[in-house]
Amino acid sequence: MRVNKNLTLLYTTTQKNIMSRMSKERMERALEQLKTISEEDYAKVKALAAIVKPLRSVLHKTPDDYGMTGWRDIYFPSDDGTPLEGWYIPAKGGDSNKLVVFNHALPMCRAGFQGHFGAPWSNFDAVEIDFVIQMKHLTDAGYNVLAYDIRNHGTSSAANGGICGIGRWEWRDCVGVKKYVDSQRALSKMKVGLYSQCMGGNSQYEAIYRRPDLFENVSCMCSPMVVSTAAIFSAFSELQGISQYQELIDFELIKMGAFTTAEMTPQLFASGVKMPVLMIQVLEDSWTRNPEDAQKTFDLLASKEKELFWIENTTRRFKDGYNYFGRHPEKVIAFFDKHMK
């Protein structure tokens, strides 16, 4: 690719806004990269940046698929007013006094991910991720579940131009769901635990950091697959042969109205998390930079009781990371039992 004729104008009009988020040196490197990058590689850069404009997953399963009864659809506003939708599923045998608030990753929804349906979802990974069976494990163990779709995902409403902040806007949804719980006569009396994964975990960390008062009465959090966006983009760009264009990737993100990779990380907010935490990660995850990234996030948690559990003998984030709880519920259930009974 050669320099776009409008590049000088684009640089002039965006420079004021960008310089506070990209250093002068990084901006200059991005502009130099734009002059020399091939059309093919530039298409890859733009496609990688577009991960933050998520494809919507569908509710390919409901609690009915696993014989859960008494569940209902719920809806409530995010802290900024964005309409959110979810399910309330009572514990097997009826409501208990324990509630797990369950959220999800990008580009998933409360039901999971249907890569096994084919394109366009299989373009990420041609696998099914089943969160509903995980809810079944929780309800069988005596927990009520409140599962919800984060903005721009599932059946919740669009916001922020359809762009995902990997937590930087979505923390407001975590605040909204907790306010909803606290506003309901029955739910507000329950012990609360969190199952907050990947983008949903990043969001939860920031929500706790910003509103510690709201989450002070939460018993614990299981936090699978939280990740720094820079680690994801570094790994993906290497797999695609465009790892030399990190600055240009950030420039493309800003042009989309998104956050830069350095701004989208749970490490900025992990110090605010003080409740007991079980973090679950794929040790040799080919889509991120583990163990370094996860270990750094874990070390920054202020929790006195915390454990980092590594899923080994796989590199598959989607297939084996997000499905771990569904296949091996014992560890997660034991964690919640320890802190909520």
Predicted local distance difference test score (pLDDT) of residue 20: 64
Report the predicted TM-score, pTM, of the whole model to 2 decimal places: 0.93
Predicted local distance difference test score (pLDDT) of residue 287: 97
Percent of the chain with pLDDT over 90: 92
Identify the band that residue 85 occupies on the pLDDT scale cut at 50, 70 and 90: very high
CB neighbour list of residue 53: distance below 8 Å, 6 or more residues apart: 162, 163, 164, 256
- Mean pLDDT, the chain, rounded, equals 94
Mean pLDDT of 92-117: 97
Q: Are 294 and 267 in contact (CB under 8 A)?
A: no
Using CB atoms within 10 A of its CB, is residue 84 exposed (0-12), middle (13-18) or buried (19+)? buried
Predicted local distance difference test score (pLDDT) of residue 95: 84
Percent of the chain with pLDDT over 70: 94
Mean pLDDT of 239-245: 97
Predicted local distance difference test score (pLDDT) of residue 341: 85
Between CA 133 and CA 149 the distance in angstroms is 17
pLDDT digits (tens, 9 = 90+) for 128-176: 999 999 999 999 999 999 999 999 999 999 999 999 999 999 999 999 9
CB neighbour list of residue 10: distance below 8 Å, 6 or more residues apart: 4
pLDDT surpasses 60 at 117 = yes
Identify the band that residue 21 occupies on the pLDDT scale cut at 50, 70 and 90: confident
For residue 150, the tally of other CB atoms under 10 A from its CB is 32
Mean pLDDT of 67-72: 98
Mean pLDDT of 45-52: 97
Between CA 301 and CA 220 the distance in angstroms is 13
Give domain limits for the chain: 56-228+265-340
Q: Cα–Cα distances in Å, from 232 out to 57, 96, 265, 311?
A: 20, 39, 10, 18
Q: Are 101 and 179 in contact (CB under 8 A)?
A: no
pLDDT digits (tens, 9 = 90+) for 221-240: 999 999 999 999 999 999 99
Give the residue carrying structure tokens 């984030």: 317
pLDDT surpasses 80 at 189 = yes
Using CB atoms within 10 A of its CB, is residue 70 exposed (0-12), middle (13-18) or buried (19+)? middle
Q: Are 270 and 205 in contact (CB under 8 A)?
A: yes
Predicted local distance difference test score (pLDDT) of residue 244: 97
Between CA 40 and CA 304 the distance in angstroms is 49
**Which residues are paired to 220 by β-bridges?**
193
One DSSP character per residue, 14-48 reads HHHHHTTTS-HHHHHHHHHHHHH--HHHHHHHHHH
Mean pLDDT of 109-122: 97
- Evaluate whether the domain defined by 56-228+265-340 bears CATH number 3.30.465.10: no
Identify the band that residue 7 occupies on the pLDDT scale cut at 50, 70 and 90: very low
CB neighbour list of residue 173: distance below 8 Å, 6 or more residues apart: 78, 79, 82, 84, 103, 148, 150, 151, 156, 203
Q: Are 78 and 85 in contact (CB under 8 A)?
A: no
Query: Do the strands 144-148 and 277-282 form a parallel or antiparallel pair, or are they unpaired?
Result: unpaired
pLDDT surpasses 90 at 9 = no
Mean pLDDT of 63-73: 98
Predicted local distance difference test score (pLDDT) of residue 73: 98
Amino acid in position 224: P
One DSSP character per residue, 147-209 reads EEPPTTSTTSPP-GGG---TTTTTHHHHHHHHHHHHHSTTGGGSEEEEE--THHHHHHHHHHH
What DSSP element (H or E) covers 325?
helix 324-327
